[in-house]
Every structure is written in C-alpha cells, then in structure tokens.
Structure 1
Amino acid sequence: MVDYDRLVPYGWTEAVANEYLPQLDPDRTPARIVRMDRSECDVATPSGPARATCTRDLTGLCTGDWVGLDSEGTVRQLLPRRSAIVRSSVSGRSVAQVLAANVDTVLICTAADGDVDLGRIERMLALAWESNAQPIVVLTKADAAEDIPLDVVRAIAPGATVLAVSAAAEVGLDVLTALLDGTVALIGPSGAGKSTLANALLGEEVFATNAVRAVDGKGRHTTVHRELRALPGGGTLIDTPGLRGIGLHDAAEGLSKTFSDIESLTADCRFTDCAHESEPGCAVLAAVDNGTLPERRLASYRKLAKENEYQAAKTDKRLAAEREKVWRDITKFQRRHYRARGHR
C-alpha cells in the first residue's frame, strides 16, 4: 500500500492527488524532485527520501517537479507543471530555463541596505507573474538600512505585497510567514540575503551563508543548487542561486501585470496601436508630462517589452520574418537616401 502521507510535507495535497494520480502511468509511483544533480536527483517518495536516475528522454527536469518513478527508482514520467519560473538561458540563445516548478509564492529578495534597483525588481516581477505564482517583494537586511524605500517599491509593484524584513534581527518574519502559501521560491541576486532568510523561515541553518564583500557590496554565490525543503508550519521552500542575468522568455502576460498602471493608461490613448513614443493624444506620455508616471518607469517598460519581443522573435518564425522585413525596408530606405545624395 502506498503511503501518500509521507509526501504531504513536500506539497502533496488532496488537490494535487486528484490532479496527478489519474495521469500516472501504470506501475508508477509519484515523487517530487528535491534537488537536481545532472542525470540524477534527490526525490521525496511515499517510501521516504531517495536517489533517482533520470532518463535521457526526459530533459529539463528541475526542483519542484512532480514525477513518476518506476520500481527501479528511475524517473519515467514528468507530470504537468501547475506553474514554473522561467527565464531566458544565460547562454544568449532563446532557450527557456526553468528555475523552479509548481511554485505558489515567489519571494523577490532585494537588500534594503544598498541601492535598491527598481528595474531589477520589475524584471523579477515579470518572471514571477508569468510563472502563475503570487509575488511578494521582500526588502531584506532592514536592520542595516538607513532608509527603506517601501513606498517607492510599492508604487512599481501593483498587485504584489511589499515587506521589509530582517532575518538577523527577526523583524517582519511573522508577517511574511503569515503570507506564505504552498511552495515558496526565493529569487534575487547574490548578496540579497536569500539563504539567510530561508534559514530563518525553516528555523534551522540549512543553507550556507556568506558575508557581502565590503569593497563593492556584491555577494558571492553560496547556494549552488536549487533545493526544496519542508517548512515547519506547512508548505515547502525552494532556495535558488543568485541570479546575475534575468532574461525574459515569453513573458508578455507577466509584463502586463507588472506594468498594469501603464497598461491601464493605454486605453485612453488616441490610437489603439500607440507606441507611446511621440504620438499625439498619448495618455501614457501625458501621464509622464504631468508627473503621475515616472519617466524611469516608462523607460523600464519599453526596455523589457522590447527585450521580450526580441526573445520571442528568436523562437517565432513569423515574428522573426516580420523583424527581418522591417530591417530590409530600413536598409533599402538608407540606400535610396544615400544614392539621392550622390553617395555610392
């Protein structure tokens, strides 16, 4: 008899059971990936923790995935993901890299004791919203910060809760803990205090921590694997390595939610295809002019939208063809222009 109760600390619920058990192949046992290690992984099973082998035909497995194991302890089946945090590969190719799967809450961690990078927070919000999880922006190291820009960050995070916490001083952790739901993933740059916060939420020193370099204020990678742990109050937590590059990958919906203030303004633009550049009757530009929309926010919106479109064009042949046609037209125009001026 399968003891599913052993999976409960790792996120197994009645809803998960109802969704996945009918989809399991015969003679397969459900398990959740706790940590990936190339062709092998640590998994939580109804029989307890185990080491499993991954077959070559199942690629892209990641921490948080629910899978089906055979009797030999080999992963034979990937069950459908309910959510996934996905970024564009750091290789520069438009390849999706899944950071964590089946996540319900994303903690976007930024150190409050330094320069709070609003653009980076907006970028991580787009990833979080696109994942189908609920983002929470956490300004860490609040005890070491002279001024915590809570209102500024709240203004760029519509729909998301913004909190200031200090794991070291145990400030704000009770409020944060009350907001956690299901599987929680921590994302952010190195030095943001993710592992320290993870340890505080887990109630024990599970993940290694390092001090931030004083010379440049940057952190060092202390977490090198994505690892899932059971939270003492229920639910699970996934700590992730620091993100140096956070490329967008097919994140149109995430951008729309991140910049919902700008999206709502576009409904009042004179032209339905307004690019918010110099068109007459642009409600977005009017909001910048009257000071209700910061120019920095519009610039960030343009930058991320352009990046997302470019990444999508790499994988979408139709969009790629359209972009190529635009550049061909521009080149032809430039050539005609130079010929008209007597240049060869």
Structure 2
Amino acid sequence: MIDMENWGLTPQLVAEAEAAGAYLGRVVSQYRDCCRVVTRKGMMNADVSGKFRFAVKRLSEYPAVGDFVLLDRSDDQSGNGVIQQVLPRRSAVIRKAAGTGQAEQVVAANLDLVFICMSLNDDFNLRRLERYLGMVWDSGATPVVVLTKADLCVDLAERMAQLETVAFGVDVVVTSSFAEEGYQAVRRYLGRGRSIALIGSSGVGKSTLLNRLLGREFMATQEIRQDDKGRHTTTNRQMLSLPDGGVIIDTPGMRELGLEGADLAKTFSDIDVLAKECRFSDCGHGREPGCAVRRAIEQGRLPEERLLSYQKLQKEAKYQGLNAKQIEAEKLAVMFADVGGMKNARRLIQEQAKNRRRF
C-alpha cells in the first residue's frame, strides 16, 4: 500500500472523494494522451473522461502534475483508469505556454514550496529571478531561492549582496555540486506530506540537486558547455517520493517564461513602499514631479534596472489574455491618458468601433 499522506493527501480530500463515490489519486506525470497517477494501490495510467474533455474550457483545466483527481478505479489491472474530475487546487504555478498564443500552462499544482534554482556562474540573472519570484508568489506557494554551483562562483559575497536587492523575505540557500554537506541546508525544507517543485533555467543544476535529495542517480546530468551555459536534461515534469519525506516535482528548464500572473506587490515590495511617498497616487515613475522612486534611483538607493523590470512585468501582466485588438486599445488608452484620462480614451475607441460598424 502507498502512503498517500506522504504524497500530500489530507482528510478534506478523502472526504471529497467519498462524497463523490470515487477513488482518489494524484497525478505524478503527464503525457499528451494520458496521465500517470498514484493511488493507495500503486501507480496506474489514467485517461480523461469524454464528459470531462467536453466540459473543459481552457488548457489549464486539464489534469497537471500535482493535481488530486477523482477516478473510476484504484488500479489499471483491467485497463486504464478514467479521470472524472480535478479537485480544486490550493496552489498552482502557471505560465503562458511557449509561443505566441495566450494559452496558460500549469507547471505544477498543490505545492507547499518552490525551489527557484539559479547557478552562481554566468547564468546568474536578477531580472530572470524577479520573474520567477513573481510567478511563485502568485501561485500560492512559498519560494525558496537555491543558488547552485557555488564552486564556480568567483565572488560569493558580491552575488549575495546583489540578491538582497531582489529577494525580500525569501529564504536563500547556497549549494555546491562537489560538497554533499552543501545540500544539508536544503533538506531542512523537506518533510512528510510536503510537496516541493524545482524550477529554473536549463543547466542550473536541478538534476544534480534532485539526485542529492533522492540519494541516488535518478537523473542523468550533463557537463557544462564551454560557454558556461548548462545543457538541458529534464524533458518532462514528474513527481517523486523523497526518502526524507514528502514529494518533489522536477521540471524542464524554461527557455521562455511568459507570465500568466505575477504577484508584483511581494516581488517588488521596495518599489511599492517608495511609491507611497510619491506626490501623485497614480505616479508612473517617469517625469512626474515629486516622484520618490526616481529620487531613490538618483540617490543610488534603487537600481534603475529594477524599476525597468518592474514596469516591464506590469505591462506583461496587464496585457495577458488580451487579443491583438484589445492590446492595441489598451496602448491607445495609455497614449491618450494625458488629454482626458484612460476612461475617455477607451470610450473614444469604443465609439470609433461603433461608427465603423454602421458603415
């Protein structure tokens, strides 16, 4: 029998399954046509029911790794199980699917912690970390920054000082691929029933970290390239049981990180605090008089790159889910904001559209 409580099962989930008269499982890996699910009786393959598929409106509503699902059976001895329902997620890391479309992709669901892995070599990137932090805070899980490849870092103190300007209220752990004791600090976050995910760019050392936590060579690791960039190892998301308790989800390196949602208030809390001191409540932190944010930049208390990153992510989050025409309308509204306000600009756009339809 599988210890499902170690896989995150709670009395509330059990009660929901009993009320529905169904079996309960958790998705451990996801493929194009089916899922691999763990139940009390073991691992099994499961397909989405036709009724479920018909009712789905968005890609993100399909089962994802980490989801708890209701099934028509507890094993697949007589064929694949059928997923009847995905139970409500208490947290979900979501990004915009790679490409130009607006579809959202669930990276992992029902997480307690997310280890944001970033190497201390030339892949160290504060702007990318801001995007990851915004995505994780928005998910409902708690981020932990795991710095890898400390053995390749020339000036660790400098890196840590830079990190302090970005990772407010976030635990930071430093690890080295050559030192076993370097991973002990990570182990204190593990525990029975706790669900954790690893995210980060390709080649930052997620597979090495996973092998250390599993106590065995589960994932093949690849040598770093001559240009100091890592090689891509993981190709699909999967959930694994940890010997120290709990489960961990390994994810492929994200070549693109389109934000479906981001909690910028937590990620950029320093800018939010400064903005409260601006003369105008709707200050855009550009040329407005009395801007406390611009003053902090001029005084060297805030890097200008951080404000630019904040503004870029604001625009990205604002335009998420809009089609090309809607994005154009929003941009026009901003352009006309100084001569009548955004509401008037939107009203003008709507009136123009009505007039075009008349003719």
> Matched residue of 1:7: which SS?
coil
- The structural deviation recorded for 1:299 is 1.4
| Separation (CA, whole Å) in 2 of partners of 1:241 and 1:48 | 25
Indicate the larger mover: 319-328 or 73-82. Answer: 319-328
Map 1:58-69 to 2 at 5 A: 60-69=62-71
Q: In the TM superposition, what are the counterparts of 1:235-246 in structure 2 within 5 Å?
A: 235-246=246-257
Residue 239 (structure 2) pairs with residue 228 (structure 1): yes
Q: How does 1:1-344 map to 2 (within 5 A)?
A: 6-12=3-9, 16-19=10-13, 21-22=15-16, 26-56=20-50, 57=53, 60-71=62-73, 73-148=81-156, 149-180=159-190, 182-214=194-226, 216-251=227-262, 254-314=263-323, 321-326=329-334
Equivalent pairs counted in the alignment come to 321
Relative to structure 1, the CA distance from residue 266 to residue 33 in structure 2 (aligned partners, 3 Å threshold; closer, same or farther) is: same
C-alpha deviation, 1:113, in angstroms: 2.2
**Mapped contact 2:96–2:103 kept (Cα < 8 A):** yes
Which digits, 9 at most, give the CA deviation of each residue in 1:152-195, with x for residues without a partner? 11221101111210133224311121134611111111010001
Cα distance, 1:321 vs structure 2: 4.5
Contact 1:20 1:79 in 2 (8 A): no
Question: Which whole-Å deviations, capped at 9, do the CAs of 1:53-99 have from their partners, x for residues lacking one?
Answer: 22351653211010011036111110000100011121222221110
Partners of 1:136 and 1:69 in 2: CA distance = 33
Distance 2:11 2:331 in 1: 45
**Closer, same or farther in 2 for the Cα pair 1:115/1:209, shift >3 Å?**
closer
For residues 152 and 229 of structure 1, what CA distance do their matches in structure 2 show? 33
Task: Give distance in 2, aligned partners of 1:280 and 1:328.
Answer: 20
For residue 51 of structure 1, report the CA deviation from its aligned partner. Answer: 1.4
Q: What is the Cα deviation at residue 313 of structure 1?
A: 3.9
Show structure 2 runs of 5+ residues with no match: 74-79, 339-359
> 2: CA distance between counterparts of 1:138 and 1:45?
31
Q: Secondary structure at the match of 1:306?
A: helix
Separation in 1, partners of 2:201, 2:163? 17
**Residues 115, 198 of structure 2: 8 Å contact kept:** yes
SS of 1:179's equivalent in the other structure is coil
- Secondary structure (helix, strand or coil) at the match of 1:263 reads helix
Amino acid at match of 1:62: A
Kindly tell me: are residues 309 and 70 of structure 1, through their superposed partners in 2, closer, same or farther at Cα, counting changes over 3 Å? same
Given that 1:154 and 1:161 are in contact with CA atoms closer than 8 Å, whether structure 2 keeps it comes out as no
Partner SS state of residue 320, structure 2? helix
- Whole-Å separation in 2 of the counterparts to 1:69 and 1:328: 54
Secondary structure of the corresponding residue to residue 35 of structure 1? strand
CA RMSD in angstroms, aligned pairs only = 2.4
**Contact 2:116 2:132 survives alignment (8 Å):** yes
Q: CA deviation at 1:329?
A: 8.8
Identity %: 43
**Post-superposition offset of 1:21:** 2.2
Provide TM-score, normalisation by structure 2: 0.83
